[in-house]
Structure 1
Amino acid sequence: MEVRQVEMFLRICEHGSINKAAAALRMSQPSLSRWIALLERDLGTQLFVRTRQGIRLTDAGQVLADRARPVLRQFELLRDDVGNKSLRQVNLAIPLSMQRLLTAPFADRVLSRSPELRMRVYEGINNSIRVWMENGLLDTAVIVETERVPENFTSRPLLRENLMLVGDHAAGLSLDAPVPLSKLDDLPIILPGPPNSISAQVAHALARAGYSYNNVFEAEILSLCLELAGRGRGYTVMPYCALEGRLGPDAALTAAPIEGLNVVWKLCINKSRAYAVANRSLVDELTEFIATQVENGAWTFTELF
């Protein structure tokens, strides 16, 4: 027994005629009769007796009519509640590297300015975000341009960000003194292994220039890459956003921009949620917030598209 069949049955009860109910439902009388026949077969009993004056409910039909109306009303209320929640709920994914500069301050802004919006935030490395997209978990995501986007998502570039060579305090790197790509030649590098997008980009850039990529330790977590670099175990390569709050005179880390090496971040939107009010609102707020972070100088070594 399907909800649609019960709704058709009740419409016939309201009109007292299969023909009138079919017209109201904008379907043919034979089609409606077939639906009701299937319902009667499923229930194992006759629901109507057809007379010259129209239809008359059998005892079983009267029981169904009496009990179905409140059940359908509860179903309608449930559907409305779930629908309203889905209109407000937005699932967003942002790379871990952006937590301090984008994710946390943006979430704080949403909580203060749009408390009615139910935002669920996922954080991870780029290939994890792609998997979440493929599994249908996300409405919107920020991801590196080189990562493949599932067919059910649209994408557009957001901003280009300089990649930084990061070492310990003794390395003496400076944000004011960019280093050439040759600086990374056979340097002990700490980065995630394949299929990580950043490590793949660094490896390909070095190979194209005829230099060696020496990945001495594969740390799959951003914080571990930075921790080991700060302990002098090697160098890592990160976008500037990953270094927010981690640099300074007393910090364990130093960093310098790598000449000609950058990453492009793109915004991806689930096509099935592209016109949902809550998702559109979140996308507008997110892009506005990113622009503000770049234009006011908080997000440096970055340019908007």
Structure 2
Amino acid sequence: MELRQLRYFVAIVDHGSLSRAARVLHIVQPALTQQLQLLEQELGAQLLHRSAQGMSATDAGKLFYEHAQAILKQVGDAKSAVAQSALRPTGTVALGIPQSVSGALALPLLMAVREKYPEISLQLTEELSGNLIEQLKSGRINLAVLFDDGQLAPFIVKPMIEEQMMYITCANSRFAHLGTSIDLAAALQVPLILPGYQHGVRPRIENLVRHAGLAIGDVIDINSVAILKSALLADMGATILPVAPLLSEIERGEMIALPIADSHISRTVVLCASKNIPLTNAASAVERLVLEVAQTLCDSGRWLGASSLM
């Protein structure tokens, strides 16, 4: 198996056509077809469906595509690591950020990278944390912002933020609470809009409520941050969440966040790298900058409800 065969296969999947892939790769189509056939023979599996509409990956092809992408990225990282200067890092760095953190961290980080390391191309991936863990394990991303749930042993973990969860409603909501804080029992009396159980936030809330001897009543389960925002703005209920995913709406005055006075609900945000795949100079520079930006956001109060662990 050759690296060029991996590049050829990825190009065919990306472009959905042998002819289009051949044009992009600057090779003749018969040569591309031959290399694909050799690859399928070596793997003992059909990787692509061929039809009048083009080409698409089989189940085996989809699995191989993920590995091929990871291998090609690691080869590119290795070349960059040799070519880079530690004082002037260059290259591409892929960083994964959960949807519920990107609202606070993504834009400040992008601006900081462009200002301090203009020769680094930062690729931000916004995903559920479970997807980011798999991508970090396979080497498809260099770094990931994750939540410390005690299951991060495969990674090098650097604590960043302790993020407080708050009671959040739209401004002038019928579920708004007078005062500067709210008790947990009072927060549980209103319809709550919460992420599903596959999100790390939900089990933390459920466990705290159970330990307090209380119960959650009416819950609207929504896994999309965008839809959850819309439901809050439509005054369908309140939520208990970290501020980060709703930071823009709170800063604009569209939503209000109150601390829960008698209960401490929080999550620990960490920065992770693989123990098995070394970071390039560019990735190490971005790693340091992520920690610096998070520290600055905490110190300035721009990341509401967050305290630094650095």
TM-score, normalization by structure 1: 0.66
Cα distance in structure 1, aligned partners of 2:196 and 2:283 = 33
**Residue 91 and residue 150 in structure 1: after superposition, are their counterparts in 2 closer, same or farther (change >3 A)?**
farther
Cα distance in structure 1, aligned partners of 2:77 and 2:140 = 17
- SS of the equivalent of 1:264 reads strand
| Conserved? CA contact 2:164–2:265, under 8 Å | yes
Report deviation, 1:288: 0.8
1:301 aligns with 2:296: no
What's 1:271 paired with? 275
Alignment of 1:207-222 (within 5 A): 207-214=210-217, 216-222=219-225
Gaps of 5+ in 2: 4-73, 85-90
Q: Kindly, what percent of the aligned residue pairs are identical?
A: 19
TM-score, normalization by structure 2: 0.65
1:84 aligns with 2:89: no
Gaps of 5+ in 1: 4-78
The structure with more radius of gyration: 1
Report deviation, 1:274: 4.2
1:58-115 deviation line (CA, Å, top 9, x unaligned): xxxxxxxxxxxxxxxxxxxxx9977434662221111222323211121122123212
1:148 aligns with 2:151: yes
Large movers: runs of 4+ above 4 Å: 79-82
1:93 aligns with 2:131: no
What's 1:115 paired with? 118
- Pairs aligned (count): 227
- SS of the equivalent of 2:241 reads strand
What's 2:285 paired with? 281
| Conserved? CA contact 1:126–1:147, under 8 Å | no
| Conserved? CA contact 2:136–2:273, under 8 Å | no
- SS of the equivalent of 1:272 reads coil
1:138-195 deviation line (CA, Å, top 9, x unaligned): 22111111263262x1113211111111123223347x71222222335322122121
| Conserved? CA contact 2:80–2:280, under 8 Å | no
- SS of the equivalent of 2:230 reads helix
What's 1:137 paired with? 140
What's 1:74 paired with? none
Deviates more, 1:273-282 or 1:158-167: 273-282
Cα distance in structure 1, aligned partners of 2:76 and 2:186 = 58
Alignment of 1:184-199 (within 5 A): 184-199=187-202
Cα distance in structure 1, aligned partners of 2:2 and 2:128 = 43
